[in-house]
Chains A and B, each alone.
Chain A
Amino acid sequence: MTATIQQQLFEIIAKQAKIDVATIRPESTLKDLGIASLEAIEMIFDIEEHFNINFPDQQGANFDTDTAQSLVDAVQKALDDKAAAGEGSK
């Protein structure tokens, strides 16, 4: 059975934060999970690589206040956009 987007994403977060995946809640912020700015950028890269998507630039957004659920939503949106465009990620 294929893991859900949430399961796959939480695994990536857990690896970056070096924590047990079971401790991650959808409402956890990256700050709660102890992920600082540069680690957040690295994790975004891991997520983009894993799902073969591009996140829009987030300058102006604050990675500290991003929640795990907001990342799940962002991945879902990027996958939907990619499917709608009918082409692979550039």
Chain B
Amino acid sequence: MPTVSTRRVVITGMGAISPLGVGAAALWQGLREGRSAIGPLRHVDAGRLRVKVAAQVPESFDPAAHIDERTLPLLDRTSEFALHAAREAVAQSGVDFAGNGLGQRTAVIVGTGVGGETTQDEQSRRLYAENAPRAHPLTIVRLMTNASASQISIAYGLHGPTYAVASACASANHAIIQAAQMIRYGMADAAVTGGTEACLTYGALRAWEAMRVLADDTCRPFSVNRRGLVLGEGTGIFVLESLEHARARGATILAELAGTGMSADASDIVMPSAEGAAAAMQQALQEAELNPGDVDYINAHGTGTQANDVTETRAIRLAFGAHADRLAVSSTKSMHGHALGASGALELVAAIGALRDNVVPPTANLDKADPACDLDYVPNTAREMPVRAVLSNSFAFGGLNAVLALKRAP
């Protein structure tokens, strides 16, 4: 088999919009403080819905304050978030896409579970409920799932491979992995990547209600009294580069994206498999050349459903053996909620924060661990401890697993 030369991949910029506020710093600060952004659902139809709580981007986020008025009409809420977070990430990285033809060698890969759901819901309401004779002419450009990736490519003149990745709740991690592999194997020198989701519409909320996986109080991952997941929304966008490219321009490196793992359970459409999740974790360790004992923290998928938390615990034991008992494991979904196709991106902000500050964010609302969940979940209060390497897990309906392995900046 021919040997393939590979390159190391680093992260040099991050941006986020989350229920904890605008900006990656607001998200990380909130998580460090163990602050939950879960609250009563704000929705025009809240009175009719059974969903009582959600983690929503603060009402103070005003897209018009951040995005020019000619672009704004083209955007669904998912793309408003994504464009704004991309600006933060690009600014932090200090990268110049116009110089040296870098824009020609930059990919844009953005994950989203359902894309422009707000647009879809609004237009359906017009057509079916109000009997409107026509849809808004910008409906398609707003709702297409690649809209966020395309808008970022247009905003920064990025001509490399650009598209959306969809794998439900693993979309962001799959997108970030795809972007990293492009750099690793020389198809691009840089990438703008992450995940975005904003689908708290009447229709989507009704659909989630019917699945009976939503908590009615709050998200309590790994706790014996957990009652399900809490829906969220938001965006995390990152600038990835090859290590050599980042070093050549003297960039500040936030972390190394050292390994990735992907697998499919190939069993049930919703019930997770410990073996499938463990396989993805093991692949990520292997690609990163990490032994289980090198990892200090896992940002868990940790949805707070009955099935996930027990299965993920078993998967971590399968992948880490005896070292599982020395790992810090936390679910930050207890604070930022489950942003579905964006969740891996919000959690990557947490993983990078843990590596840079040597602080593990807690699992909030963990009253009493489920006996079937027997790892150290860092309950309720952040922990200062050396963090050398981190895994970030995302698992999706459909039996899809995507795991990131991160190391400190080299």
Contacts and interface: CB of A to CB of B under 8 A. Distances in A.
Interface string B118-148: 0000000000000000000000000000000
B227 interface: yes
Contacts of A22: none
A58 B269 contact: no
A14 to B, nearest CB: 22
B228 A59 contact: yes
Contacts of B213: 59
Interface string B201-230: 000000000111111100000000111100
Contacts of A38: 268-271
Chain B CB within 10 Å, residue with most, of A36, A41, A44, A59 = A59
A37 B271 contact: yes
Given A37-B270, A38-B269, A59 B48 contact: no
A60 B211 contact: no
Nearest to A48: B210
A87 to B, nearest CB: 14
A57 B50 contact: yes
Interface residues of B, number: 20
A41 B214 contact: no
Contacts of A44: 212
The 9 closest A-B pairs by CB, nearest first: A59-B228, A59-B227, A60-B227, A38-B270, A41-B212, A57-B216, A57-B212, A58-B212, A45-B210
Interface string B237-276: 0000000000000000000000000000000111100000
Contacts of A59: 212-216, 227-228, 305-306
A16 B95 CA distance: 57
A9 B48 CA distance: 27
A38 B307 CA distance: 12
Interface in A5-23: none
Contacts of A58: 212
26 contacts: A36-B268, A37-B270, A37-B271, A38-B269, A38-B270, A38-B271, A41-B211, A41-B212, A44-B212, A45-B210, A54-B50, A57-B212, A57-B214, A57-B227, A58-B212, A59-B212, A59-B214, A59-B215, A59-B216, A59-B228, A59-B306, A60-B226, A60-B227, A60-B228, A60-B306, A62-B306
B52 to A, nearest CB: 10
Interface string B179-215: 0000000000000000000000000000000111111
A60 B211 CA distance: 13
Interface string A32-66: 00001110010011000000001001111010000
Contacts of A37: 270-271, 307
A90 B271 contact: no
Contacts of A41: 210-212
A59 B226 CA distance: 8
Nearest to A45: B210
Contacts of A45: 210
Contacts of B270: 37-38
